[in-house]
Amino acid sequence: MSYVKEVYDKLAVKYANEKEFLQAAREVLESIKPAVEANEEAYRRSGVLERLVEPDRIISFRVPWIDDQGKVRVNTGWRVQFNDAIGPYKGGLRFHPSVNQSILKFLGFEQIFKNSLTGLPIGGGKGGSDFDPHGKSDREVMAFCQSFMTELFKYVGADEDVPAGDIGVGAREVGYLYGQYKRITGLYEGVLTGKGLSYGGSLARTQATGYGLVYITDEMLKQAGKSLAGKTVLVSGSGNVATYACEKAQQLGARVVTMSDSSGYIYDPNGIDLDVVKQIKQVRRGRISEYADQVAGSVYHAGERPWGEKCDIALPCATQNEVNGADAEKLVAGGCWCVAEGANMPSTPEAIETYQKNGFLFMPAKAANAGGVAVSALEMSQNSLRLSWTFEEVDARLKDIMKNIYRKTSEAARKYGHEGDFVVGSNIAGFEKVAEAMLAQGNV
């Protein structure tokens, strides 16, 4: 039996109840098979794959906090420190009621290869809580964040593990978390990224994931002799990634016609008015349905996802498994020929199969959304240097990093006989650097 299959089969029995983690692990293991087979004896002897699929550690803890009625509430907090072969653990914190160990393991596992692809020295980690910030007052969010950090501070540090934002964790939450870390430890250090600009944040970090997604999409289109100008684009989500993906796509001349949240989507045939979306989402923390009340000609579809609308390009930027096989068929029927993933693992395996069968240009999450964590690593660099770079400098580095990811991904795919398959390419290119570092550092 192949080494890859042996490792996956054992994992599937041991973690049978962790379906998101197994979905991510299966895709990576299947993709890297050609690279593993090329070096099987060394990898097998040193247990590279068995070590890779088991997190270094998972910390889980109680987070008690007091709500506005004076009642104690309790959530669970986690940090999954997956792999530090190439640098300190790095990855976001997600606050969402659906968060559980399987979801954080899938995200932490993906992060290992994504972070490797950036070319920067960062290992893989992820964390979060089943706390839901929706509908909570600022004081409640602060109380939660302070309690969360009161436990988490023991396990993180600028050279050890550097969390950041993800779903439900933005500038406000990072600020409260940072304040509590500093208060407990007395250290003014780069322990978190995505910080505010007045206390050590990097210019362009807010935009980085969405902008990076569009930069790599643009590069993929250019290499295929196409461009974004004049193309119709579907975006899902209306949070950090979706907003700045929409902004950059519009700057490059695309017409973005949808955005969404967990309640439904808006369709605007004239192109999304992003100022209205920012006002609703960033200022009022409202619902995307309000857009249709404000913008003539737009329509709100309650309880639906945008994948049935006609388009050239789809950029899923909300959450995992938001495009299933049937949705992918709808994309095909609507004329779509390109998908690039802003969210982590937004396409189910059936959806990816449909893209591939239909000859889509497809850039998977770990390459496509790596711009966010890449600029986080640049924030760490600036914190270490005690300097701040200009927006233009960070943005230029981001563009360069995304182009390099495209190049590494397409070269790895070609080298192993899968030209144009960026799933295989990104997984192999990400894996090879981590595996080399693991072999060099011995059995740890």
Catalytic residues: 126
Judged by CB under 6 A, the stretch of 15-23, 54-62, 313-321, 431-439 that binds ligand NDP is 313-321
CB-based contact 56:105 (threshold 8 Å):
no
The contact mask relative to ligand 2IT for 149-188 (x = CB under 6 A, - = no) is ---------------x-x----------------------
Within 344-363, the residues that bind ligand 2IT by CB under 6 A are: 344
Rg (CA), the chain: 21
Nearer residue to ligand NDP within complex by CB, 184 or 274: 274
Find the distance separating the first CA and the last CA of the chain, reported in whole Å: 26
How many amino acids of this chain bind ligand NDP (CB under 6 A)? Answer: 23
- Identify what 90 binds: ligand 2IT, ligand NDP, none; CB under 5 to 8 Å per kind: ligand 2IT
Residue 318 binds ligand NDP, judged by CB under 6 A: yes
Nearer residue to ligand NDP within complex by CB, 104 or 313: 104
Residue 290 to residue 287: CA distance in whole angstroms: 6
- Smallest distance from ligand 2IT to CB 113, Å: 11
Nearer residue to ligand 2IT within complex by CB, 374 or 412: 374
- Smallest distance from ligand NDP to CB 372, Å: 3
Residue 306 binds ligand NDP, judged by CB under 6 A: no
- Identify what 318 binds: ligand NDP, ligand 2IT, none; CB under 5 to 8 Å per kind: ligand NDP
Q: Are strands 161-164 and 361-363 parallel, antiparallel or unpaired?
A: unpaired
The contact mask relative to ligand 2IT for 307-346 (x = CB under 6 A, - = no) is -------------------------------------x--
Residue 280 to residue 116: CA distance in whole angstroms: 36
Residue 430 binds ligand 2IT, judged by CB under 6 A: no
Nearer residue to ligand NDP within complex by CB, 33 or 205: 205
- Identify what 202 binds: ligand 2IT, ligand NDP, none; CB under 5 to 8 Å per kind: none
Within 355-414, the residues that bind ligand NDP by CB under 6 A are: 369, 372
CB-based contact 80:126 (threshold 8 Å):
yes
- Smallest distance from ligand 2IT to CB 404, Å: 17
How many CB atoms are closer than 10 A to CB 78? 24
Nearer residue to ligand 2IT within complex by CB, 166 or 312: 166
Question: Which residues are at the interface with ligand NDP (CB under 6 A)?
Answer: 165-168, 170, 209, 237-242, 261-263, 317-319, 342-344, 369, 372
Question: Which residues are at the interface with ligand 2IT (CB under 6 A)?
Answer: 90-92, 114, 164, 166, 193, 344, 372-373, 376
